[in-house]
Amino acid sequence: MINKKSIWFVTLFTLILVLSVYYVTMPSELLLSNGSNYTKKTTEKKETETKETALEVEESEILTSLRVESDEKVEEKMDKLKATIANADASADDKNNAYDEMKSLNQTRGIEEDLEKVVLEQFKLKSFIKIDGDQIKVVVLGKEHNTKVANNIMRAVQAKQSKKMYISVQFKNA
């Protein structure tokens, strides 16, 4: 017997399928333009836009490698903690400590992402932030190594923290 849930599921699945097929078959020129006509001016504009985006990808390679390295370390810790929680021989205290540490790691990840957004919004600089205990390491992509900007970044990061932290700012050339 067909019930309401299965009808809704089929309807939504069909809608998603149709939209995805439409998106895949759509010409790539439509995706790149903002609804403007296809003239030489717009294609020239598109070429310069793609060159600029290529530069952004190159600039963020440093930050991407730092994020990947950090994520790998966090995932290793999380796997060990999950193994501790899943271990039948582990005591309840060990499992509780592992759970609390997993929760702490997730909260730290969220704080790092929030601080990266703050640096991007306030200073228009891409950054990587790593929190380790009471230390915060900030790596900023920038052509200028400006101490005034570094001090302002430290103040902005510290303003988001509830306790006093040791903050270091490092500039990397793109």
CATH fourth-level superfamily of 43-172: Stage III sporulation protein AH-like (1.10.287.4300)
Residue 117, H or E segment: helix 92-123
Domain limits of the chain?
43-172
**118-142 as b/e: b if 16+ CB within 10 A:** bbeeeeebbbbbbbeeeebbbbbbb
6-23 pLDDT, tens digit per residue, is: 888 889 889 888 888 887
| pTM of structure | 0.62
Note whether 127 and 156 are within 8 A (CB): no
- Summarised one tens digit per residue, pLDDT across range 53-111 is 544 444 468 888 888 899 999 999 999 999 988 888 888 899 899 999 999 999 999 99
- Please give the pLDDT value at position 56: 46
Residue 166 DSSP SS3: strand
Say if residues 32 and 46 touch (Cβ distance below 8 Å): yes
Return the number of other C-beta atoms located less than 10 Å from residue 94's C-beta: 13
| Chain centre to alpha carbon of residue 113 | 6
